[in-house]
Structure 1
């Protein structure tokens, strides 16, 4: 094999940044490898991807020391246009990069820019249509495609140029589990069958860890560590659940896939099936939130505070909600209630109606029919659609998928100050929330210059500062790293403990397993499942988190639950596998 990407002692400095974005990074990616790029939000992953494509520093500015070569070409002397036929770049949001209206036109556009002759263009487009499995979509409008289909078209659009290297930035961040599997299966086929080299950044490591040939871990100081996946994940704070489970169980070698973990988990499953705690009150270790707060003895050994001091009350009641976009019925007569102190996860494939439902519940989006009532602090009921925007914000908070749409000032500090003012919150409240979700963002930085995860964290902080009775979140973990998700889970735990209701639309099954009390699955605008999170997630092959898939039929969802069960004094009560449910609370929740 010959190296396709070589970074030799590379340091990148931006004028406004107090530290280098990359520091003395040395990386080698061989031909035909899939390199997985991991690191905290804002650690420098996007800079590393930009360095490989030549966009850093040619488009972004900054100072580069060291040497970067791609397919033998030095990026100092070869600008991005010189690398266009060698490096294909696919950004996080495929729709933002589309420039035409239909699939076939988008695939041909790249070749038109490269002045490829028509016969060759026609041949390459047909080859890519077949390669990506989208031939039947050739005439389809891009806006009508599912998220997974859009992502495959975006990858196909750069493949028509015949690149040797494919750079993917969070390719599955907005996709449902099935769509993500389709995209990753396509990427794997490109690597294994065509010998394409791929460098991919991804936060949802459970989806990709088992596919990688090498891992590039970017530390918060900008240094980069490269190694074989098992060796890097062995002591890396950012690791998929199966790796964390392997650490807790002491498995060697560490598993990277559910298949490997399930083979190693035979004894662990037997132990958990026949071992239960004596009672939730006396045999379960205390839970500590990420900020060190003791929640007392309770079988939730993760981040979620589930025992609310408030009696359950209906915070929001939706009846017969219908949303129509043109000729499309996005939401079809849905009834949904949200109780104070409850986290409800809305799940389902892309296009199932989750976002449309959230906007309708908020009152600022279209609602063709039905009624939504929010319980106000004085006990009355108000339809948020009838409330003034300032009043509505105090009743129902919404963080949309396109979080940057809510950012309109020129610095992070100004956004935080304006949020405190509009929320009537103590000065510094929003900034403190932001620092818990994504620490270290300079106050003078322009919000549009932040990474997608940092922008999301800022918008989350702005909405959380108001602490409305009902909080609606649309894909709140998109772009967030693992510590950011932990911080968000802790904040949601505090909100629910204080009686707030939370509904979040998500494709992140691991996050749902950590925070959700209830899961509502939508399909084509209808509710197809509404039940306790443990029941829905363990019984669904599509939405099961990795721990549930590894330990089935033991109904555990997270590594924290497993660790709690292993450290709690065991008591033999039955040989019946169903006995494992005895340690769960009456509502079906255990050491979440």
Structure 2
């Protein structure tokens, strides 16, 4: 269905091709997962399938891409619209209409489908993606994850033969991501749809892939069996990393595969606990009958608390750096937050989790004064955010938003960095050094709009960190980041926490939470439904448990790093 014949892309004045030479054939009715490090050319390759590259982006396309027999060099995107459906990293750039239902119908209207067909397909898609309750909502009022589902739905309604998806689950909570992936599987298996998908959160998708197309750092592209490709890939999900550590061959792709082989590993770890290194400890006593009957009993065996690898734990007796008390916020007819009380102390890393639209981003925005509370109070280092000038508040609290472009205004990375240094009163080069630490290799002459989603995030994060605010708020901080970039981010955030900064992360990335969070707060419909130590909260729900926890349960391991240290 999709043929890449010696395909590469070169942009004017670029020091090297944006894409390694790709030779591959993707047959009809298969799901091919495209993997590679941030900036390796995944989005560029996806663009060649839809015709956006080079017709919209410019540059020179070498070689030939054919989709269903159509050459994308001679067929512009509008001439491929009935054949190829595309969802990019940024759903806002995808929308044409104002409401959910109109957006789902727009693509079919453009193709001139009968009204009865459009109505039926809209209803089917609303049900498939769990969007029925949102059908009349303005798109601008939706959360980032809800917008992502609408964007996917809008390309499903015309029933394309090929789906091109760039980070389709990056902004979705775990249950919503599973729903979307189930729909994609159904399209592949039942309707014979061909899917080419790029996704950094491999733990969610790799088990569904028929083939993996790997863009390697050495400038080569390889297509093959998922397990074989992951064995040589620089980016791998925790389940595969754990399999490599345990010496399993072939490497597992799913939690189910790993659990079947994990008996020996569980035996080796049975007398150890996270944080105890290789020193055996006495096995924990079995819970009493009273403990077993108690609904509040912890979901992990008794023993030392599982903590992130931060050298300094927050002082629970210290006064809070930021605090909300019975916070309520009503926007229009929607109660976005209700009775939220939260204390955040210096050195503490708090993860906000919950379904899309639960109020996570709204809470972060309220902490930096973007929303005026309807009831209750908010303070950050004794200041009321919405009554404090933004320039002054930045010295106390900084927000990296879900859309990094909201912070980017200059025409080069170097100018963004110089401006950030000047605004923060920092030494020249401070911001640039942070960018290089998070994602090495970003040229100073690059325009921010030409960066990948992960690279833009690294730049926005560096801009906020340049001011070194005591309270750092991050909204979906790993969206678009590969595992190596995420590891660098984790190291930096741990360092900040050790220095006394308070971190609050709104995220759906359960693996990040397992790595770094001291505490997890789960929101639902604007209310706090759980607030406690990370190991207790995330392992009590299958939706939020990390892969290592699922594989090695009931033992209290959360990350591959903990297992590696113990072994």
Q: TM-score, normalised by structure 2?
A: 0.90
Compared with structure 1, are the counterparts of its residues 132 and 195 closer, same or farther at alpha carbon in structure 2 (3 Å cutoff)? farther
Structure 1 residue 333, shift from structure 2 partner? 1.9
Q: Which runs of 5+ in 2 are unaligned?
A: 282-303
Q: Cα deviation per residue 1:198-229 (whole Å; 9 max; x = unaligned)?
A: 00110111000100011111234543221110
How far apart are the structure 2 equivalents of 1:118 and 1:382? 56
Q: Cα deviation per residue 1:460-514 (whole Å; 9 max; x = unaligned)?
A: 0001111111111111111111122111111111111111111111100000110
How far apart are the structure 2 equivalents of 1:136 and 1:300? 39
CA contact (8 A) 1:309 1:498 kept: no
CA contact (8 A) 2:36 2:234 kept: no
How far apart are the structure 2 equivalents of 1:386 and 1:149? 31
Structure 1 residue 331, shift from structure 2 partner? 1.1
Structure 1 residue 5, shift from structure 2 partner? 0.8
How far apart are the structure 2 equivalents of 1:398 and 1:146? 17
What residue is the counterpart of 1:113 in the other structure? 110
What residue is the counterpart of 1:325 in the other structure? 331
What residue is the counterpart of 1:193 in the other structure? 190
What residue is the counterpart of 1:588 in the other structure? none
Compared with structure 1, are the counterparts of its residues 182 and 415 closer, same or farther at alpha carbon in structure 2 (3 Å cutoff)? same
Aligned with residue 161 of structure 1, among 148, 158, 161: 158
Q: Cα deviation per residue 1:394-422 (whole Å; 9 max; x = unaligned)?
A: 11111111221111111111110010111
Q: What pairs up with 1:328-367 in 2 under 5 angstroms?
A: 328-367=334-373
CA contact (8 A) 2:518 2:533 kept: yes
Structure 1 residue 272, shift from structure 2 partner? 1.6
CA contact (8 A) 1:308 1:498 kept: no
How far apart are the structure 2 equivalents of 1:42 and 1:25? 16
Secondary structure class of the residue paired with 2:85: strand
CA contact (8 A) 1:312 1:341 kept: no
Q: Cα deviation per residue 1:493-539 (whole Å; 9 max; x = unaligned)?
A: 11111111111111000001101011111111111111111111122
* Aligned: 1:93 with 2:90: yes
How far apart are the structure 2 equivalents of 1:330 and 1:129? 23
CA contact (8 A) 2:215 2:222 kept: yes
With 531-540 and 343-352 compared, the bigger mean Cα shift is at 531-540
CA contact (8 A) 1:437 1:488 kept: yes
How far apart are the structure 1 equivalents of 2:400 and 2:425? 19
Q: What pairs up with 1:483-562 in 2 under 5 angstroms?
A: 483-562=484-563
Secondary structure class of the residue paired with 1:394: coil
Compared with structure 1, are the counterparts of its residues 281 and 153 closer, same or farther at alpha carbon in structure 2 (3 Å cutoff)? closer
Compared with structure 1, are the counterparts of its residues 417 and 137 closer, same or farther at alpha carbon in structure 2 (3 Å cutoff)? closer
* Aligned: 1:50 with 2:47: yes
How far apart are the structure 2 equivalents of 1:149 and 1:461? 27
CA contact (8 A) 1:169 1:202 kept: yes
How far apart are the structure 2 equivalents of 1:5 and 1:266? 42
CA contact (8 A) 1:304 1:489 kept: no
Q: Cα deviation per residue 1:107-152 (whole Å; 9 max; x = unaligned)?
A: 3321222233445545655665566666676556545666666444
Q: Cα deviation per residue 1:313-341 (whole Å; 9 max; x = unaligned)?
A: 52222222221111211111211111111
CA contact (8 A) 1:277 1:283 kept: no
Q: What pairs up with 1:256-405 in 2 under 5 angstroms?
A: 256-276=253-273, 304-306=310-312, 312-375=318-381, 381-405=382-406
* Aligned: 1:41 with 2:47: no
What residue is the counterpart of 2:437 in the other structure? 436
How far apart are the structure 2 equivalents of 1:309 and 1:280? 24
With 236-245 and 356-365 compared, the bigger mean Cα shift is at 356-365
With 185-194 and 401-410 compared, the bigger mean Cα shift is at 401-410
Compared with structure 1, are the counterparts of its residues 61 and 387 closer, same or farther at alpha carbon in structure 2 (3 Å cutoff)? same
CA contact (8 A) 1:165 1:196 kept: yes
With 168-177 and 156-165 compared, the bigger mean Cα shift is at 156-165
With 158-167 and 223-232 compared, the bigger mean Cα shift is at 158-167
CA contact (8 A) 1:20 1:222 kept: no
* Aligned: 1:59 with 2:56: yes
Compared with structure 1, are the counterparts of its residues 518 and 143 closer, same or farther at alpha carbon in structure 2 (3 Å cutoff)? same
With 442-451 and 236-245 compared, the bigger mean Cα shift is at 442-451
How far apart are the structure 2 equivalents of 1:301 and 1:72? 55
Q: Cα deviation per residue 1:356-414 (whole Å; 9 max; x = unaligned)?
A: 11111122333222222333xxxxx3323332222110111111112211111111111
What residue is the counterpart of 2:297 in the other structure? none
Compared with structure 1, are the counterparts of its residues 426 and 186 closer, same or farther at alpha carbon in structure 2 (3 Å cutoff)? same
Q: Which runs of 5+ in 1 are unaligned?
A: 285-297, 376-380, 567-592
Q: TM-score, normalised by structure 1?
A: 0.86
What residue is the counterpart of 1:457 in the other structure? 458
CA contact (8 A) 1:302 1:561 kept: no
What residue is the counterpart of 1:448 in the other structure? 449
Secondary structure class of the residue paired with 2:557: coil
What residue is the counterpart of 1:234 in the other structure? 231
CA contact (8 A) 1:280 1:299 kept: no
What residue is the counterpart of 1:287 in the other structure? none
CA contact (8 A) 2:278 2:565 kept: no
Secondary structure class of the residue paired with 2:394: helix
Compared with structure 1, are the counterparts of its residues 448 and 565 closer, same or farther at alpha carbon in structure 2 (3 Å cutoff)? same
